[in-house]
Amino acid sequence: MNTVTQPGDIWNIDGHRVLCGDSTTKSIDRLMQGKTVPLLFTSPPYDNQREYKQGSFNWTEMMIGMCKNIPFQDDTQVLINLGLFYRKKEWVMYWDEWMKWMGEHWKRAGWYVWDQGWGLPGDWSGRFAPSHEFVFHFNYNERRPNKIVKSITGGQMVKAGRIDTIRNKKGKADSVYTHAGQPIQDFKIPDSVVRINRQASVGIEVEHPAIFPIPFAEFMIKSFSNEGDIVYEPFAGSGTTLMAAELNKRKCYCVEIAPEYVDIIIRRFYRMFPNSAAILEGTEYNFQEVAQDRGVELPNDDELYRTGTGSKRKEAISTLMEYL
């Protein structure tokens, strides 16, 4: 199938940037233009779980190459979503060599669990139905997570001098948390178990084989970035992190090696945000114009979604928004 996007293309989409390239190389310098990021969030391909059209790959080399090229700053937080896979009915810790390398170059700050909700039907070779994945957290220096989770327990910080303060060893009054019966803080730092159903992606399936729900990406983005920040996504896939960034007033600079998936990202963005424009860098031409120039016929629904007309688009957007 012919694609609109060609290797090396960069698309500017309402302040977001998408490079069709390899995040394990210095090609990302063109994407970043000297900028660094406070957050990397990604869900890379699992080791040999599937082969994309670019063929097989060495997973450890891919991950180390990507990590060597992170456009980091002093307090960059790196959050990487991975799941188990099985070989000969036994789970494989395919990340061991990469994790060892990360421990030598980054601080292993956290290991979280994504609770995906109920497991899917099946026999599963004598084990429980899988319903979780992991998020590995790395940094050089810590950054306090944003308090984004509604709090129903716990105290509220009060100023020193109140009757319920304590005194440190020097006798100076410190701020403390209030106790039972006192006002609670409205929001708290997220737990190490993130509870977001994988079924939240229902209704927005695209041709990518491993789409994950936008609310999951939103949760991670809101936890470790602020409005206006740039989020880096080195394995963009179908663009879920990009969509989450747009919904939460961040910018996403992302890389996807497969031209067909870059096309999917742009088409999906148009579906969600019909008044958008994807402009090929170095030109004044949008996605549709580049497609025409390169002799690529777009699927019939692209114009429908882009113009914001028709019941099909409205139904798709309505289904999606139920989960945001």
pLDDT > 50? residue 234 = yes
Q: How confident is the model at residue 314 (pLDDT cuts 50, 70, 90)?
A: very low
Q: Summarize the chain as % helix, strand, coil (round to 5).
A: 30, 25, 50
Give me the pLDDT at residue 34, please. Answer: 97
Enumerate the CATH 3.40.50.150 domain ranges in the chain, comma separated.
10-151+186-321
Query: What is the per-residue pLDDT across 100-131, written as a single tens digit (0 to 9) for each?
Result: 999 999 999 999 999 998 887 888 888 898 89
Q: Which CATH number does the domain 10-151+186-321 belong to among 3.40.50.150, 3.30.479.10, 1.10.3720.10, 2.60.40.10?
A: 3.40.50.150
Alpha carbons 164 and 140: distance in angstroms, whole number:
36
The DSSP call for residue 284 is: S
The residues near 296 (Cβ < 8 Å, ≥ 6 apart) are 2, 3, 4
Rounded distance between C-alpha atoms, residue 168 and residue 179, angstroms: 18
13-33 confidence digits (pLDDT tens)? 999 999 999 999 999 999 999
Q: What is the pLDDT of residues 243-294, one digit of tens each?
A: 999 999 999 999 999 999 999 999 999 989 999 999 999 999 999 999 999 9
Q: Which of the 8 DSSP states describes residue 200?
A: G
Exposed (0-12), middle (13-18) or buried (19+): which is 80, by Cβ within 10 Å? Answer: buried
pTM, entire model? 0.81
Instruction: Look at residue 210 in the predicted model and tell me its pLDDT.
Output: 53
Q: Which two tokens stand for residue 95?
A: 């990340």
pLDDT given for residue 317 in this prediction = 37
